Amino acid sequence: MSKSAEQKINAIVIGAGGVGVVTAYSLYHNGVAEVSLVTRSDYDHVVEFGYKLESCDYGQIDSWKPHNVYKTVEDASAAEKFFDYIIVTTKNIPDGPKDSTVHAILKPVIESNHELDPKKLTNVVLVQNGIDIEKEVLEHFEKSTYNLCLLSGVQLIASTKVGPGHVVQKGKDNVSFGSFDKTDEVAVEQAKKLASIYHNEGHNTGAFDDNVRRTRWNKLLYNAAINTTTALVGLDVSRCFEFASKKESTEFGIFRPAMQEIAAIAASENIAIDEDLIEFFNEEVRNIMYKPSMCVDVENGRLMELEILLGNPIRTAKANGVQTPTLCLLYNLLILVQNKLKEQKKLIEFNEETLKLVV
Amino acid sequence: MSKSAEQKINAIVIGAGGVGVVTAYSLYHNGVAEVSLVTRSDYDHVVEFGYKLESCDYGQIDSWKPHNVYKTVEDASAAEKFFDYIIVTTKNIPDGPKDSTVHAILKPVIESNHELDPKKLTNVVLVQNGIDIEKEVLEHFEKSTYNLCLLSGVQLIASTKVGPGHVVQKGKDNVSFGSFDKTDEVAVEQAKKLASIYHNEGHNTGAFDDNVRRTRWNKLLYNAAINTTTALVGLDVSRCFEFASKKESTEFGIFRPAMQEIAAIAASENIAIDEDLIEFFNEEVRNIMYKPSMCVDVENGRLMELEILLGNPIRTAKANGVQTPTLCLLYNLLILVQNKLKEQKKLIEFNEETLKLVV
């Protein structure tokens, strides 16, 4: 079946940073989907000039406009469109400002979908890092009431917004889509369909993933051990390896113990982590000059994705009786950094007279 | 015996920051000692104008000059004076620049003393933080050859140099002096003598300490657990307590475990830590708005006293088979921060092409 013979689907991408814009373009590229994009800060620019993309996957595109551009999710919900796929590419910070949490972002469009057609399937696609991120959505929206499929997207890409409406993509885009619940056959079919729409042969890669949780736990090896450490010490990955005592204390005193604890938590959830990945992350990653996201966030005074990368696995460990001393200490330190960032952003207030948080 | 009846002693203070200047003034105050001070950066100013002291112990002093001022330890050694007490008030960073290590600072004056009178006693007084700091001195100077007494000074004071030759002391000065080796009777007597010279009734406190190692291990409870943590997260002590998860993860997930490990190492050295101090540090210190030294050092791009506060106790733990997972992880993280500071100060060089340290 050719793609053009498929029924036109309606997709909205929420989160128009360097990653979200390329994600939207990839969906747009093969002409099967009507693509909407929510962009608050670049709205006026994009409506007038469109996006300038410099993409290793698609070449240079001087003025691209999605089919629809909205300034807010509320505006999108007011457009009276049913969105088959609601794709979230924002950072996932459940402890951040209330209006930026994933469930708050989703609320207007999930509800407008429900009003427009309560029988039709709404796919919520979380193209985000971390583990157990689907739980927040399910806590706020009853699956059967809203006729939801919860899909996972794990993305590898290097793309940065360098100016208003200007995105430079340097690393090829590769997204694996799957159903958070692998026993949910309807969602599995929806994930396969989305992967096929997303994939543009010769350009990017969209693939179906039949075991989303394993994929996410695998990726957590890196994020819970390495991403976290770089955020605490403010160094890229190569320097973390090289600046170690005897050039080995980072690997053997932080990274590997933290990764083994992640593997133990995964095992307690009946997920067998690929142990080769632990070797890969310690043998190969040191040779790539790279500053992970949490480190960059701290440097830029932005909140970190701490809870979905470290808080959630630690909570699972506690529930399952798995000892995680390394992860816990990293978390206990990083929660202080997160709150330092929150104070800088005036999300919390510390009273220097009483020495207490102002509630 | 009145102090004036004692034989005049010759003391040199090396390290003329906010603390060192008050230390020199306290020695000077009762007229028993001839006091020399080494100050590189303020030398010209002090020779011309003297020091301006605003001291909670001594009131305001507009122009105080020590008996002798030297720009360098080499200049002091060339003065052909025998220094009975060589008092070091610099930071102690054995992994820092070679010419700033304690043994390098001591060398010229220990050697000139030896040349002037090899039979006379030289007291080396380390008014510095940390544990096992006397070992570096003994490794470089044979005790019997140089006729050395190694004395310890543990100081409580809040004093800051606010400008050239201008020191503001806000917290009262209290130094306990003792012999690092409590079985060395000669050194014990020298420590008692120094305490009596240093003490100025109604002003400061100089006291004799008969168990220096216990005092230093006690103080390490604070420095190895709290000082280190604040340096990693860049927050004062009160915020570290208050920003914790459920307001308790810092105390129960970092501070107390780290302190218990310090107590266990001390116990392996037959030193009984005062457990009340663990309660004190967790109950009282949270109520004092204070940014510890390592945190301030990181903020100012200065190297931390990491090895004497954390490296040394961890090495003792390893030698004695004591498990210290919390301290080790803090150390493995802080060594990365220390090397980041070293790179900033161009003490080490990282090649971003090879991703290796340049040796």
State pLDDT tens for residues B91-102.
999 999 999 999
B336 vs A239: CB contact, 8 Å cut-off?
A: yes
- Which pLDDT score is estimated for A1? 39
Supply the pLDDT for residue A323. 98
Alpha-carbon span A86 to A150, nearest angstrom:
10
Taking only the tens place, the pLDDT of each residue in B230-278 is 999 999 999 999 999 999 999 999 999 999 999 999 999 999 998 899 9
Q: Is residue A4 predicted with pLDDT exceeding 70?
A: no
Q: What is the pLDDT of residue A359?
A: 84
**What is the rounded CA–CA span in Å between residue A53 and residue A59?**
8
Query: Between B240, B328, B335, which is nearest A336 by CB?
Result: B240
Interface mutation target, options A95, A232, A233, chain B, most CBs of B under 10 Å: A233
Q: How far apart are CA B275 and CA B266, in angstroms?
A: 12
With an 8 Å Cβ cutoff, are A244 and B325 in contact?
no
**pLDDT per position as a tens digit, B41-57:** 999 999 999 999 999 99
CA dist., res. B284 & res. B288, Å (int)? 7
Place of tokens 């008050």: B22
Task: Enumerate residues 6+ apart whose C-beta is below 8 A from A200.
Answer: A26, A29, A30, A57, A206
Q: Alpha carbon A277 to chain centroid distance? A: 20
Q: In percent, how much of chain A has pLDDT > 70?
A: 98
Q: What is the DSSP string of A47-79?
A: HHH-EEEEETTTEEEEEE--SEEESSHHHHHTT
Q: Please report the pLDDT score of residue A7 as a whole number.
A: 61
d(CA B191, CA B208): 7
Structure tokens at A138: 């399910």
Instruction: Decide if pLDDT at A5 tops 60.
Output: no
State the alpha helices, DSSP H only, in A72-169. Answer: 73-77, 102-116, 133-140, 143-146
Which residue from B161, B170, B167, B166 is spatially nearest to B57, judged by alpha carbons?
Answer: B170
pLDDT for residue A2 is more than 60? no
Q: Sorting pLDDT into bands at 50, 70 and 90, what band is A3?
A: very low
Cβ-based contacts of A238 with chain B (< 8 Å):
355
Dihedral sign (CA B342, B158, A335, A18)? negative
CB pairs under 8 A between A and B: 112
pLDDT tens per residue, range B163-218: 999 999 989 999 999 999 999 999 999 999 999 999 999 999 999 999 999 999 99
Q: Where are the alpha helices (DSSP H) in chain B?
A: 18-29, 43-49, 73-77, 102-116, 134-140, 143-146, 185-198, 212-222, 228-233, 237-242, 249-250, 256-268, 275-283, 293-299, 306, 312-320, 325-344
Q: Which of A244, A245, A332 sits opposite B254 (nearest CB)?
A: A332
Q: Which residue of A has its CA nearest to B336?
A: A243
pLDDT at B284: 87
Q: What is the ipTM of this complex?
A: 0.93
The model's pLDDT over A137-184, given as tens digits with 9 standing for 90+, comes to: 999 999 999 999 999 999 988 888 999 999 999 899 999 999 999 999
> What pLDDT score does A30 carry?
87
Please tell me the predicted confidence (pLDDT) of residue B149.
97
Per the listing, tokens 């002090």 go with B46
In percent, the amount of chain B with pLDDT more than 70 equals: 98
Mean predicted lDDT score pLDDT of chain A: 95
Q: Tell me the per-residue pLDDT of B8-19, one tens digit each, with 9 for 90 and over.
A: 799 999 999 999
Q: What's the whole-number average pLDDT of chain B?
A: 95
pLDDT digits (tens, 9 = 90+) for A185-231: 999 999 999 999 999 999 999 999 999 999 999 999 999 999 999 99
Taking contacts as CB-CB distances below 8 angstroms, the residues of chain A near B330 are: 329
Reply yes or no on whether the pLDDT at B341 is more than 80: yes
Who's near B302: CB < 8 A, 6+ residues apart? B91, B341
Side chain identity at B131, as an amino acid letter? I
* pLDDT score, position B2: 43
SS3 content of chain A, % helix, strand, coil (to 5): 50, 20, 30
The band of B7, judged by pLDDT with boundaries at 50, 70 and 90, is low
Kindly report, residue by residue over B296-323, the tens digit of the pLDDT: 999 999 999 999 999 999 999 999 999 9
**pLDDT tens by residue, A26-56:** 999 989 999 999 999 999 999 999 999 999 9
Average pLDDT over residues A247-256: 97
- Residue from A238, A286, A329 to probe the interface with B (highest B Cβ count within 10 Å): A329
- Which domains, ranges and CATH numbers included, belong to chain B? 7-210 (3.40.50.720), 215-344 (1.10.1040.10)
Which chain B residues have any C-beta within 8 angstroms of a chain A C-beta?
229, 232-235, 238-240, 242-245, 249-250, 253-254, 286-287, 289, 325-326, 328-333, 335-337, 339-340, 343, 350, 352, 355-357
Query: Has residue B359 got a pLDDT over 90?
Result: no
pLDDT at A254 over 70: yes
Test A336 with B289 for CB contact under 8 angstroms: no
Q: Which of A38, A33, A37, A39 is nearest to A10 (CA)?
A: A33
10 Å CB burial of residue B183 (0-12, 13-18, 19+) is exposed
pLDDT at A84: 97
Q: Which residues of A touch B (CB under 8 A)?
A: 229, 232-235, 238-240, 242-245, 249-250, 253-254, 286-287, 289, 325-326, 328-333, 335-337, 339-340, 343, 350, 352, 355-357
Nearest residue in B to A298, CA atom: B233
pLDDT of B6 above 60: no
Q: Which residues are within 8 A (CB) of A171 and not within 5 positions of it... i.e. 6 or more apart?
A: A56, A156, A157, A158, A159
Among B234, B242, B333, whose Cβ lies nearest the Cβ of A350? B242
Q: CA angle B99-B105-B111, nearest 5°?
A: 120
pLDDT at A317: 98
